[in-house]
Amino acid sequence: MSTATSKTTTYFNLIDGAWVSSSSGDAFENRNPANTDDVVGVFQRSTAADVADAIDAARLAYDRWRLVPAPRRAELLFRAAQLIAERKEALARDMTREMGKVLDETRGDVQEAIDMTFFMAGEGRRQYGQTVPSELRDKFAMSVRQPMGVAAIITPWNFPMAIPSWKIIPALVCGNTVVFKPATLTPLSALNFVKILEEAGVPRGVVNLVTGGGGEVGSAMIVSDDVRIVSFTGSTDVGRTVSQHAAPSFKKVHLEMGGKNVVMVMDDANLELAVEGCLWGGFGTTGQRCTAASRVVVHERVYEAFLEQFVARAKGLTVGDGLDPNTQMGPLVSQGQLDTVMQYLEIGRSEGARLMCGGRRPSGAMYANGFFHEPTIFADVAPSMRIAQEEIFGPVVSVVPCRSFDEAVAIGNGVQYGLSASIYTQDINRAFAAMRDMYTGIFYVNAPTIGAEVHLPFGGTKATGNGHREAGVAALDVFSEWKSVYVDFSGRLQRAQIDTADL
């Protein structure tokens, strides 16, 4: 699993039940984004050969795992959920150290993995099919779920334990085996999750972990003919590539990609509540959520009042190390993410948006070795501006004025993504109209665009996804296929749609 020296700990891949080095002999460092002098660990820089070994292990393990009764598979997952719950605080602290978000949020991330694992374990006894009357006499008709084989799981860094649980746990309960490539920025949380599955009794080869870059590891997983399902969460550009590379072998592909989510604040909204929601939606996780509220469309009648309160509250947020209990917003995850934010600040200024607060890195010794950025708000943003159209994935919120409910909905829908949206209003008619008219996979009333729960489907429309959903029982449809079964006990040939049963 790992070896420790006086300076750093080295962690290994899990392939066929053994913790092993990469065949390349190469490794990479994982550093704390709040303090880059802090090396969290050293992880394997894997190759296509390592991926092939992991896929082979998963393929061989599938022959036995698929025959384990689903309730028995579920018992192992219940045990895993209990272990995660027992270790929640330690897992959260590891996550904050490698990803940067504040402890309250990493505790929530771990809690989501607990919730998802308990929920999906329950589906071990609820993989319901259908029984239907046949159109012919003495014939029984039903449908059953069947597993598919090896699942390739590719996850991002922003929810390094929750998102793996959304994918791996339903894959396992359905009877598939897994090859898992976590983000290179957050491999420790992924490894912690896999170690717990191993400790809970998941047999060797059923879950395999291979760390390393997407170009080397991810691509090898996607193109393998032995992989039957690919579940990917990440950017829309990479998701498009995943889909293209998986297409020749007719894999099932599940894509969860970008978002440019909107909060619509109507003229009858509770402004104090709306401001609270926009702060949490825009700056929670330092804006690094696919569901982040990066656009706020505000009715002109309350525009100035909302803006004044929103800017004042954003200026008051405490930025710092996520392990500090006083911190309200941690660092960005990497230098690359910080550079992206800084580039979009220049774009916003050049487009003529009004910078209301933020727009720079905080000064001081405590920020010198981290990827920190101030909460930033642009006002008077036109819907067509790039900062209102493109996913920034940082603590940058664009505030857009509107003249009516209909205009707010049109602005909200006027982007390539369709993940999450919300409305603040006291008018139930407006709320229901918005629920109907916003073309998103998730919608909130009088709440921000973040806060999904594990027992309902999660996913989006348009460039956000390809129609499949995570979480809830919808996840079972990603990781299983339907089989219709007909049993004819008549003792004679009966021809459906041709022969007619006697009355």
Instruction: Give residue 306's region: left, alpha or beta (phi > 0; psi -120 to 50).
Output: alpha
290 is catalytic: yes
β-pair partners for 95: none
List Cα–Cα distances, 122 to 69, 117, 166, 455, 485, in angstroms: 13, 9, 14, 11, 25
- Residues 6+ positions from 442 with CB-CB distance below 8 Å: 291, 419, 420, 421, 449, 452, 458, 459, 460
How far, rounded to the nearest angstrom, does the alpha carbon of residue 469 sit from its chain's CA centroid? 11
Spell out where 155-290 has E strands. Answer: 177-181, 207-209, 227-233, 252-256, 262-265
Do 338 and 33 touch, CB atoms closer than 8 A?
Answer: no
Active-site choice (105, 112, 256, 391): 256
How far, rounded to the nearest angstrom, does the alpha carbon of residue 72 sit from its chain's CA centroid? 27
Q: Which residue has the tokens 């329950």?
A: 122
Give 218's DSSP letter: I
3-state per-residue secondary structure call for 374-399: CCEEEECCCCCCHHHHCCCCCCEEEE
Whole-angstrom distance, CA of residue 224 vs CA of residue 379:
48
**How many helices and strands (H and E) does the chain possess?**
15, 23
Whole-angstrom distance, CA of residue 96 vs CA of residue 128:
39
256 is catalytic: yes
DSSP string, 282-324: HHGGGG-STT---EEEEETTTHHHHHHHHHHHHHTPPBS-TTS
Question: What is the strand order of the sheet 2-4 is part of?
Answer: 2-4, 9-11, 35-44, 27-32
Element (H, E) at 61: helix 48-65
Q: How many residues does the chain have?
A: 503
Active-site choice (174, 278, 290, 357): 290
Catalytic positions, written as ranges:
256, 290
